[in-house]
Amino acid sequence: MQAPKGNGVVLQVHADRARCCGYGLCAQLCPEIYKLDENGLVYVEDAIVPPELEEQAREGASACPAEAITIEIVTA
Ligand code: SF4
């Protein structure tokens, strides 16, 4: 589902580090959102995804073999 743009609805990502296995696919696909710490585990600096990165953020989340990333649609 594509989030409507420009009406205060944004994507918010949540990374579950307990599930993350350090594959790094999310960070390869969307390095602006998904970062890896020194142990190779995912973290997110800013959970709110800018509209121009929504597609990449979704791709990164769905590529995760551990299903560690969830995306929520929130009202800004
Ligand atoms: S793709 Fe999934 S398992 Fe791999 S680093 Fe990202 S969150 Fe962790």
Q: Confirm whether 4 is domain-assigned.
A: no
Q: Confirm whether 3 is domain-assigned.
A: no
Alpha helices in 4-75 (DSSP H): 25-29, 54-63
Q: At 43, which amino acid appears?
A: Y
Beta bridge partners of 12: 48, 72
> How far is the CA of 71 from the CAs of 22, 38, 39, in angstroms?
19, 24, 23
pLDDT greater than 90 at residue 4: no
CATH of the domain at 14: 3.30.70.20
Write out pLDDT tens, residues 24-55: 999 999 999 999 999 999 999 999 999 999 99
Give the Å distance between the CA of 5 and the centre of ligand 1: 27
At residue 37, the pLDDT reads 97
Q: Is 42 in the pocket of ligand 1 (CB under 6 A)?
A: yes
Range of the domain at 56: 9-75
Is the pTM value of this prediction over 0.75? Answer: yes
Domain count, the chain: 1
In this structure, the residue with its CA closest to atom 6 of ligand 1 is: 26
At residue 63, the pLDDT reads 97
Q: What angle do CA 49, 72, 70 make, to 5 degrees?
A: 90
Give the Å distance between the CA of 41 and the centre of ligand 1: 7
